[in-house]
Every structure is written in C-alpha cells, then in structure tokens.
Structure 1
Amino acid sequence: METRRRSLVKALVWQGFGLVSMLIVGWLVTGSAFVAGGLALANMAVGFVCYLLHERLWAQISWGKLRGNDAQTR
C-alpha cells in the first residue's frame, strides 16, 4: 500500500498534465484563452478529487497485488 503523500503527489502530477492538455484543447475549440483556462481549471478540480479517491480506493483492494515471495518469483 502506498502512502497518502505518494497518492497526493501522483494526483498533482497527473492533474498538471491534464491541465495543460485541457487548456490546449479548450483554446483550440473555443479560440479563447480565458474560456479555455476556466474549463481547464474546472476540469482539474473535479479530476483531482476523482483521481485521488480512485487511487485511495484501489490501494485498499488486494486483488492483483504481489506480496513477498510472489513478487520475487514473477
């Protein structure tokens, strides 16, 4: 299981990529950097919370994880 801090950093990095890509797509579609920025920020806020909850939920699920000797033999 990973730490909450690791989950938080992963979520921040992922959202940084999402912010830039949404800003570019929004600007290309709307032609407005202001509207694109608003869309990108809204998307980032929602996506950040969803991603963080998703990561923490999956951290609690043991299915598919290798442990101890299993990890060394595969």
Structure 2
Amino acid sequence: MATSSHKRHLAKTITWRMVGTLDTIVLSWIITGNPLTGLKIGGAEVVTKMILYYLHERVWFNIGIKESRKRHLFKTFTWRAIGTLDTFLLSWYISGSPLTGLQIGVAEVVTKMILYYFHERTWYKINFGLEQRRKKKSWKETS
C-alpha cells in the first residue's frame, strides 16, 4: 500500500503542476504584460511547487480526516495558502516588484482554488495507487 500511495502522490503532483503552471504563466503574462516574465515565474514554480505539493500530499495522507467533500475543501485551503505564498515570493523576486508579486498571488487565489478543487474531485474518482479502494470496488461489482 505505501508504494502505491507514493506513486499516486507523485502522479497527482505532476498533473496538478501541469494545470497550476499553465494558470501561473497565463496570469503572470496578463498582469505583467510580458510573456517572458510569465514563463520565468511559471518555470521557477515547477520546482518549488512540486516539492511543496508532494509534501502537502504526504501530510494529508497521514491525517485521519475521513474522505469527504470537507476534506477536499480543507486541503484546497491549506494548499492555496502555501501555494500563494510561494507564488508571491517568486513573482516578487523575478519581477523585482512586491506589488506585481502581490497582484499575481491574489489573482491566483481564485483561479487556483477552483482548479485545485476539481483536480481533487477528479483524483478522488481515480483508483490509481489505492489498492484497498480498488479491491472494495471490484468486490462490490461482483456481488
């Protein structure tokens, strides 16, 4: 089970980073008016966010909160707090402007929370890396 959960968390990390990076690039481009700045910020986030997201997944895997929509909402808010802080700091550093960093970070709060919630709901329906749930489901299907 532990190896499967690691594979699942890595797969979720990669799929979320693809969605999140695209969102960051587009928002940064719109806010700064410079596609290169958007690409720089999005590129920098690939590394920081994958590490932070993986650690976030591992923590939530070990928290004893029952699978539910509430859990997905709590995960959404905790991840968004971590992600926004990271985006703000990277955007400030890359653009040289704390105001630009703040604008990009604030814009992401809305778009990323919506995207993350649907990413979580989608992964909740996927059995990849969840041997227990897969076994229960296939037992129910044969009954």
**Into which bin does the TM-score normalised by the smaller protein fall?**
0.7 to 0.9
Query: 1:20-35 to 2 correspondence within 5 Å?
Result: 20-35=85-100
- 1:7 corresponds to: 72
CA distance in 2, matches of 1:38, 1:27: 10
Please state how far the C-alpha of 1:40 moved relative to its aligned partner.
0.8
For structure 2, which runs of at least 5 residues remain unmatched after alignment? 1-65, 136-143
Which of 9, 29, 54 is matched with 2:119 structurally? 54
For structure 1, which runs of at least 5 residues remain unmatched after alignment? none
- 2:101 corresponds to: 36
Amino acid at match of 1:33: P
* DSSP-derived class of the 1:67 partner: helix
Q: Report how many aligned residue pairs link the two structures.
A: 69
Deviations 1:41-71 (CA, angstroms, capped at 9, x unpaired): 1122211111110111111223432327x6x
Amino acid at match of 1:9: F
Root mean square deviation of aligned Cα: 2.0
- 2:130 corresponds to: 65
TM-score, reference length from structure 1? 0.78
CA distance in 1, matches of 2:128, 2:101: 39
CA distance in 1, matches of 2:81, 2:128: 29
Query: When you count helix as a share of all residues, which structure comes out higher?
Result: 2
TM-score, reference length from structure 2? 0.43
CA distance in 1, matches of 2:129, 2:86: 31
